[in-house]
Chains A and B, each alone.
Chain A
Amino acid sequence: MSIKKLGNRLLQMLIVLIGISFLTFLLTYMSPGDPVRNMFLSTGIQPTEAQIEEAREAMGFNDPFFVRYGRWIAGCLHGDFGESYSLDKPVGELLMARLWPTLQLTIASLVIMIIISVPLGILSAVYRNKPIDYVVRAVTFFGVSLPNFWVGLMLILFFCVQLRWFNVVASSGSFQDLILPAVTLAIAMSAKYTRQVRTAVLEELGSDYVVGLRARGVPEWKILWFNVLPNSFLPLITMLGISIGSLLGGTSVVEVVFSYPGLGNLAVNAIKSSDYYLIQGYVLWVSVIYMVVNLIVDISYNYIDPRIRIRR
């Protein structure tokens, strides 16, 4: 990626970020819940109207929309994302504390997904239209139709309630608590990824150079290991990047199922208690992470695939 292209890309990211920050701010602005009233209620105080009005004025809720938006953005640029009233802590601190568990969960589920789907996808492509291919395809088909939160609940039912191997509530953050949520996320993704691995390998297997190699008498296993697989991994890296991004958002449902102490769980609770600064901070953080991951994937593409480097 040339410097100019990178600059363009960063500029685009900035525009998208401004748009997203504006949208989330607008949504919370229009939202029917009253944060000041909720704040009082969450501390157990039944406020008088005068108290609410006073607090609104003091917290700047009575200022015009753009003043409030500007103040929030200026704070964000200085690393101050506001104060979460429901948890009584700075939003930045809360998000930081929950980031690592979610990253752990993301990485663990990706590793499990790769372990499951890469061998299955390759097998299914190499033995195309043989029994093993039909079995893999049938399994992946049912896999993509399973809602992940239900898979999580069923795993809890089996492993926690029936077998009592794990705790029902996975909130301690230990390695044991990571296993079931990671497996849950991996199951749904593996089904999708297995199909993509299969398609990618099939595409390579059908290309002309494979026919050429076969004609020259190169053993099939050598073609597979030294030509087909390295080539078919290129598109898979992009897909992996996309799944990292969607995982960051998609973990929230599974985090709630397992009461896992991650970003998604925090966000769901923030929304339930109309904790606006926390919601806005979360949306902004996740979008930044998502865009950075996509950028890294694109840049790494340049290093992995020599053709892109030469072309520019």
Chain B
Amino acid sequence: MEKKKNFFLRYPSFTIFAFLGIVVIIMAILAPVITGGADPTKGNLADAILAPNDAHPFGTDKMGRDVFTRVMYGARVSLSATFALIIIIFIVGTILGVLAGYFGGILDAVIMRIADMMMAFPGLVLAIAVAGIMGTSTINAIIAISLVSWPKYARLARSLTMKIRHTDYVAAATVTGSKTGYMLRKYMLPNALPTLVITAATDVGTMMMELAALSFLGFGATPPTPEWGYMLNEGRNYIQYAPWMMIFPGLAIFITVVIFNMLGDSLRDILDPKTAE
């Protein structure tokens, strides 16, 4: 218990932003409670485009839906989509990278040439094309961004694996008869994981913005889903009369991204003191 307390006191910035991150997640989970049971997808047309007031702190949109309710529920969509995306690229990139680095040869060449192809290309262009062609949905947006984002993880995992591939202790393990699966699980994966976890943690904010960008373009969340990027898309045409339709979802993205960027940075400073300021 004593030791744990020290940890949080030693890293105040991590403690603060981990707390804020948890608050955001709890707010997303408790959205129905916070918004008093209001439905984010249904509104009263009589209340359309009302400026922020007591009943609607963030105003209402063109369908009379409460913007505050939609922003709260939007956190669910944004957070779950972002975490799903991060987990996918983390797992796919790590596995492919470790395999490429460990086995080398043809497998390495094939995996890395595909990765090169994805990287020899401005990421968002391909993501937009993929998301647009496959059809509009949050899942397709996640797939599209995963397709262009995994190579970064694969390259990292590969170089980390290759670094220890020919060290003496790995050779000793091979000589004493360790099986390939055991080698991968016991040595290669644990060696690559810390750096990859740091990378994933610092990527959360960027990925959230890219998903929101796709939704904003109309290639992500579909109506009537409350999603921050898509809310900005809807609010865009009302910029002259109802700026609150864009101000609040945008602020929500900004604040969440700041929190997760800060959390990622402080986590990196703890796990990898070399790069700390």
Contacts of B113 in A (CB 8 A): 15, 19
| In the complex with contacts A27-B130, A271-B129, A287-B121, A153-B246 CB distance below 8 A | yes
User: Does A126 make an interface contact (CB < 8 A)?
Assistant: no
- In the assembled complex, the Cα of A146 lies from the Cα of B212 at a distance in Å of 11
Contacts of A13 in B (CB 8 A): 120
Q: Mark A220-257, 1 if CB is under 8 A from B, else 0.
A: 00000000000000000000000001101110110011
User: Does B209 make an interface contact (CB < 8 A)?
Assistant: yes
- Chain A 267-295 interface residues, beta-carbon cutoff 8 Å to B: 267-268, 271-272, 274, 279, 282-283, 286-287, 290-291, 294
| In the complex with contacts A16-B117, A19-B117, A150-B250 CB distance below 8 A | yes
User: Does A149 make an interface contact (CB < 8 A)?
Assistant: yes
Among A20, A250, A256, A279, the residue within 8 A (CB) of B132 is A279
- Chain B 133-155 interface residues, beta-carbon cutoff 8 Å to A: 133-135
User: Does A2 make an interface contact (CB < 8 A)?
Assistant: no
Instruction: Report yes or no: A252 in contact with B117, Cβ–Cβ below 8 A.
Output: no
Instruction: Report yes or no: B135 in contact with A32, Cβ–Cβ below 8 A.
Output: yes
Instruction: Report yes or no: A246 in contact with B134, Cβ–Cβ below 8 A.
Output: no
Contacts of B116 in A (CB 8 A): 12, 16
- In the assembled complex, the Cα of A150 lies from the Cα of B229 at a distance in Å of 9
Contacts of A267 in B (CB 8 A): 125, 128-129
- In the assembled complex, the Cα of A256 lies from the Cα of B215 at a distance in Å of 13
- In the assembled complex, the Cα of A141 lies from the Cα of B259 at a distance in Å of 11
- In the assembled complex, the Cα of A3 lies from the Cα of B123 at a distance in Å of 30
| In the complex with contacts A153-B232, A153-B250, A287-B121, A147-B132 CB distance below 8 A | no
User: Does B31 make an interface contact (CB < 8 A)?
Assistant: no
Instruction: Report yes or no: B123 in contact with A249, Cβ–Cβ below 8 A.
Output: yes
User: Does A142 make an interface contact (CB < 8 A)?
Assistant: yes
User: Does B216 make an interface contact (CB < 8 A)?
Assistant: yes
- In the assembled complex, the Cα of A68 lies from the Cα of B240 at a distance in Å of 47
User: Does A161 make an interface contact (CB < 8 A)?
Assistant: yes
User: Does A10 make an interface contact (CB < 8 A)?
Assistant: no
User: Does A36 make an interface contact (CB < 8 A)?
Assistant: no
User: Does B261 make an interface contact (CB < 8 A)?
Assistant: yes
User: Does A31 make an interface contact (CB < 8 A)?
Assistant: yes
Instruction: Report yes or no: B117 in contact with A161, Cβ–Cβ below 8 A.
Output: no
B92 to chain A, nearest CB (A): 17
- In the assembled complex, the Cα of A253 lies from the Cα of B254 at a distance in Å of 17
- In the assembled complex, the Cα of A271 lies from the Cα of B130 at a distance in Å of 9
User: Does B126 make an interface contact (CB < 8 A)?
Assistant: yes
- In the assembled complex, the Cα of A286 lies from the Cα of B126 at a distance in Å of 10
Chain B contributes a number of interface residues (CB within 8 A of A) equal to 41
B236 to chain A, nearest CB (A): 7
User: Does A144 make an interface contact (CB < 8 A)?
Assistant: yes
- In the assembled complex, the Cα of A141 lies from the Cα of B250 at a distance in Å of 17
A169 to chain B, nearest CB (A): 11
Among A23, A31, A145, A154, the residue within 8 A (CB) of B134 is A31
Instruction: Report yes or no: B257 in contact with A253, Cβ–Cβ below 8 A.
Output: no
- In the assembled complex, the Cα of A13 lies from the Cα of B120 at a distance in Å of 9
Among B121, B122, B205, B219, the residue within 8 A (CB) of A271 is B219
- In the assembled complex, the Cα of A287 lies from the Cα of B119 at a distance in Å of 10
Contacts of B243 in A (CB 8 A): 157, 161
Instruction: Report yes or no: B121 in contact with A147, Cβ–Cβ below 8 A.
Output: no
A148 to chain B, nearest CB (A): 8
With both beta carbons as reference points, the residue of chain B lying nearest to A27 in the complex is identified as B133
Instruction: Report yes or no: A144 in contact with B261, Cβ–Cβ below 8 A.
Output: yes
Among A16, A32, A154, A168, the residue within 8 A (CB) of B240 is A168
Contacts of A268 in B (CB 8 A): 128, 132, 217-218
Instruction: Report yes or no: B123 in contact with A246, Cβ–Cβ below 8 A.
Output: yes
- In the assembled complex, the Cα of A287 lies from the Cα of B236 at a distance in Å of 30
Instruction: Report yes or no: A291 in contact with B133, Cβ–Cβ below 8 A.
Output: no
Instruction: Report yes or no: B236 in contact with A153, Cβ–Cβ below 8 A.
Output: yes
Contacts of A153 in B (CB 8 A): 232, 236, 239, 246, 250
With both beta carbons as reference points, the residue of chain B lying nearest to A263 in the complex is identified as B125
| In the complex with contacts A32-B135, A267-B128, A279-B133, A147-B120 CB distance below 8 A | no
| In the complex with contacts A145-B261, A168-B239, A268-B217, A290-B133 CB distance below 8 A | no
- Chain B 63-116 interface residues, beta-carbon cutoff 8 Å to A: 113-114, 116
- A residues near B (Cβ < 8 Å) are 12-13, 15-16, 19-20, 23-24, 27-28, 30-33, 141-142, 144-150, 153-154, 156-157, 161, 168, 245-246, 248-250, 252-253, 256-257, 267-268, 271-272, 274, 279, 282-283, 286-287, 290-291, 294
Additional A-B contact list (7), CB under 8 Å, known A24-B129, A283-B126: A20-B120, A27-B133, A33-B135, A141-B262, A150-B246, A252-B125, A257-B236
Q: Please give me the 5 A-B residue pairs with the lowest Cβ-Cβ distance, nearest first.
A: A249-B122, A271-B132, A249-B125, A150-B250, A145-B257
Give me 13 A-to-B residue pairs in the complex whose CB atoms sit less than 8 angstroms apart, sorted by A's number.
A32-B135, A33-B135, A141-B258, A141-B261, A145-B205, A161-B239, A168-B240, A248-B122, A252-B217, A257-B236, A267-B129, A274-B133, A287-B120
